[in-house]
């Protein structure tokens, strides 16, 4: 294998573009296995994961709905979508530590144009969804990765008439990096 021929230097200079492309394979695999999916819910932070998913999914099915899931304590994507420009938060406060980053200049145009809406949820909803993943699905997932499930179970999703026709929902569960002590303390506090 000749690494020079792989042009990894170019990829390093445009890492967010390379990562978005790679993360788009999530949507490709998901829609290959379940082509009837009409809505995909994806965690959002810096925007790389959802940008890749949105670009790939909308290239296959332009009418597919892409929804971002975000903690209320780190809701820069929701505020940015509402303002029509990137909004930077002075601080974040959420158990979903993997979702504390801010949207970037490369991902913002994709989020702005291809993500249909952002659902924000409270930390308690994230903890409950994480617990559900462990107890029912038997899947190890960090709170940041369980936020999509928290969003689907939330009143804001369930009671929103705009999403009443979301009959086949795909949820991206991501991340197994977890401080079990922090999660346990959060669960015990419910």
Angle between helices 15-33 and 48-60 (to 10 degrees): 50
User: CA-CA distance, 145 to 72, in Å (whole number)?
Assistant: 15
Residue 3, domain member (yes or no): no
Helix or strand run (H / E) with residue 118: strand 117-121
Residue 82, domain member (yes or no): yes
Residue 71, domain member (yes or no): yes
Residue 36, domain member (yes or no): yes
How many separate domains does the chain show?
1
Residue 2, domain member (yes or no): no
Residue 5, domain member (yes or no): no
User: CA-CA distance, 60 to 54, in Å (whole number)?
Assistant: 10
Strand order in the sheet with 169-171: 117-121, 65-71, 39-43, 169-171
Contacts of 114 (CB under 8 A, 6+ apart): 51, 54, 55, 58, 66
Is the backbone of residue 143 left (phi > 0), alpha (psi -120 to 50) or beta? Answer: alpha
CATH of the domain at 41: 3.40.50.1100
Q: What is the pLDDT at residue 12?
A: 42
pTM over 0.75: yes
Q: What are residue 171's DSSP bridge partners?
A: 41
- Domain holding 178, by residue range, is 15-188
Q: What is the pLDDT at residue 76?
A: 96
Residue 155, domain member (yes or no): yes
Residue 33 near residue 4, CB atoms below 8 Å: no
Residue 10, domain member (yes or no): no
pLDDT one digit per residue (tens) for the chain, 190 residues = 333 443 434 444 334 555 656 788 899 999 999 999 999 999 999 998 999 999 999 999 999 999 999 999 999 999 999 999 999 999 999 989 889 889 988 889 999 999 999 999 999 999 999 999 989 999 888 999 999 999 999 999 999 999 889 999 999 998 766 666 766 676 676 5
């Amino acid at each position: 294998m000749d690494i020079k021929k792989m042009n990894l230097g170019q990829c390093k200079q445009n890492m967010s573009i390379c990562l978005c492309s790679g993360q788009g394979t999530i949507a490709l695999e998901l829609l290959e296995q379940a082509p009837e999916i009409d809505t995909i819910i994806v965690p959002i932070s810096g925007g790389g994961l959802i940008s890749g998913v949105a670009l790939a999914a909308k290239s296959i099915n332009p009418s597919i709905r892409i929804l971002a899931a975000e903690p209320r304590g780190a809701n820069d994507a929701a505020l940015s979508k509402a303002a029509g420009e990137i909004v930077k938060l002075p601080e974040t406060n959420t158990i979903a530590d993997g979702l504390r980053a801010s949207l970037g200049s490369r991902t913002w145009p994709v989020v702005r144009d291809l993500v249909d809406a952002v659902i924000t949820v409270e930390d308690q909803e994230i903890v409950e969804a994480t617990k559900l993943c462990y107890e029912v699905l038997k899947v190890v997932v960090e709170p940041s990765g369980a936020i999509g499930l928290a969003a689907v179970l939330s009143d804001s999703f369930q009671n929103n008439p705009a999403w009443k026709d979301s009959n086949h929902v795909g949820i991206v569960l991501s991340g197994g990096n977890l401080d079990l002590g922090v999660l346990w303390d959060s669960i015990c506090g419910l």
